[in-house]
């Protein structure tokens, strides 16, 4: 098989390509992004820009299966448009089976909602792809580990309320994606890639305290306090808006879903937030 991965220069894309190469099987691998030079052998690097759909027919030519990883462009409306264009280009190029990295909690939503791109892409994929598989990711454990490390000096971790999130390691998601890409029987499936447990704010602080060896509490703050703190840290408004939306989705329970899909697809159990934090803190 010839298997393509978009977002191949990014952290998730690189990890998927590494997993695929390790699993062998004689498949041809193609990594697609606007920096194809970063794609390492044995994969072939191809130029493809979601913002220039005319580049995607060559990028997707000859592929049997394609994993679409959304770009990290946070501007409202952009990723939905990019993913629709990429799905159309893949179908036109004759790709038989499309795999989409989507997000937990996806449901009908309009721009500028953070889940709108995922809803738009999932619906378009289901309507147009010959075969499709959706892999909904939980919040990255590595992103939370970074946030914990930045907040640890203040002695308190914060949230907008009681929250339960099944933080997933990016590498575990990559391994699950590789397993699905190489396997059979996944057409028409919507998987939820989650960590081993939904972790509350209090539990997060307790785990962080144990791993980092310093007392850490959990405090509920309001949205204005959250926004003020992020702005004071020098983050641009677009990032502040995204972070506020993410924290609200934590409280809403969008990421409070635990499945065994990582192990089912990758063959190994997912790592916990504590394990990822311990690795990051070394
Ligand atoms: N679940 C979570 O907690 C979480 C957190 C952060 C992000 N995400 C999402 O998960 C995705 C993957 O995460 P990651 O850590 O691998 O992100 P990343 O390292 O920032 O990688 C993003 C990838 O998107 C590609 N890209 C950007 N603009 C593009 C365009 N116009 N056309 C084609 N490719 C483009 C980049 O490649 P080039 O720049 O080389 O084109 C890069 O390979 C992110 O993009 C974001 O949508 C999820």
Q: pLDDT-derived band of residue 282, with 50, 70 and 90 as boundaries?
A: confident
The verdict on the CB of residue 255 being under 6 Å from ligand 1 is no
Whether pLDDT at 275 is above 90: yes
Find the 39 Cα to ligand 1 centroid distance in Å.
15
Whether residue 27 lies inside any domain: the answer is yes
**20 in any annotated domain:** yes
Residue nearest to atom 11 of ligand 1 (CA): 70
| 220 Cβ contact partners less than 8 Å away, ≥ 6 residues apart | 158, 159, 160, 161, 162, 201
pLDDT tens column, 219-268: 999 999 999 999 998 999 999 999 999 999 999 999 999 999 999 999 99
Which run of H or of E encompasses 89?
helix 78-92
Kindly report the CATH number assigned to the domain that includes residue 30.
3.40.50.720
For the Cβ of 202 lying below 6 angstroms from any atom of ligand 1, the answer is no
Q: Enter the pTM of the model.
A: 0.97
In a domain, 129, yes or no: yes
Count CA within 13 A, CB hemisphere, residue 272.
11
Query: 34 CB under 6 A from ligand 1?
Result: yes
Query: Which pLDDT tens digit goes with each residue over 133-153?
Result: 999 999 999 999 999 999 998
Q: In what helix (H) or strand (E) does residue 263 lie, and over which residues does it extend?
A: helix 261-266
> Mutate which of 14, 30, 33, 139 to test ligand 1's pocket (most atoms within 8 Å of Cβ)?
33
Asked whether residue 161 is domain-assigned, the answer is: no
Please name the residue whose Cα sits nearest to atom 12 of ligand 1.
12
Q: Is residue 60 part of a domain?
A: yes
Q: How many domains does one find in the chain? A: 1
Ligand 1 mutation target, pool 6, 7, 16, 105, most atoms within 8 A of CB: 7
CA of 240 to the centre of ligand 1 (A): 18
Question: What pLDDT shows up at residue 153?
Answer: 87
Smallest Cα–Cα separation from 15: which of 101, 85, 73, 90? 101
11 lines ligand 1 (CB under 6 A): yes
Q: Is 52 in the pocket of ligand 1 (CB under 6 A)?
A: no
Task: State yes or no: pLDDT of 273 exceeds 90.
Answer: yes
What separation in angstroms does the CA of 85 have from each of 50, 186, 218?
7, 23, 42
What is the Å distance from ligand 1's center to 78 Cα? 13
The boundaries of the domain holding residue 36 are 2-137
Contact indicator for 10, 72 with CB cutoff of 8 Å: yes
d(CA 94, CA 150): 46
Sequence-distant (6+) residues with CB within 8 A of 274 are 207, 210, 211
């Amino acid at each position: 098989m010839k298997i393509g991965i978009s977002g191949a220069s990014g952290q998730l894309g690189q990890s998927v390509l590494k997993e695929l190469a390790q699993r062998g099987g004689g498949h041809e691998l193609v990594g697609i992004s606007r920096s194809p030079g970063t794609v390492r052998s044995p994969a072939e690097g191809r130029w493809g820009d979601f913002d220039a759909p005319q580049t995607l027919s060559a990028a997707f030519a000859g592929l049997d299966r394609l994993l679409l990883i959304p770009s990290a462009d946070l501007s409202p409306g952009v990723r939905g448009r990019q993913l629709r264009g990429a799905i159309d280009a893949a179908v036109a190029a004759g790709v038989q089976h499309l795999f989409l990295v989507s997000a937990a909690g996806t449901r009908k939503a309009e721009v500028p909602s953070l889940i709108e791109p995922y809803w738009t892409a999932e619906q378009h994929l289901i309507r147009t792809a010959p075969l499709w598989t959706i892999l909904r990711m939980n919040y990255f454990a590595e992103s939370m580990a970074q946030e914990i490390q930045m907040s640890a000096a203040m002695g308190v971790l914060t949230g907008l309320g009681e929250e339960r999130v099944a933080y997933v390691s990016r590498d575990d998601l990559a391994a699950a994606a590789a397993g699905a890409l190489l396997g059979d029987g996944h057409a028409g499936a919507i998987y939820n890639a989650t960590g081993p447990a939904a972790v509350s704010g209090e539990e997060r602080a307790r785990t962080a305290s144990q791993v980092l060896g310093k007392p850490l509490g959990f405090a509920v703050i309001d949205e204005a306090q959250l926004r003020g703190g992020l702005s004071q840290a020098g983050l641009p408004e677009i990032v502040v808006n995204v972070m506020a939306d993410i924290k609200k989705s934590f409280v809403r329970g969008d990421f409070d879903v635990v499945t065994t899909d990582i192990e089912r697809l990758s063959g190994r159990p997912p790592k916990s937030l504590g394990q990822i934090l311990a690795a990051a803190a070394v």
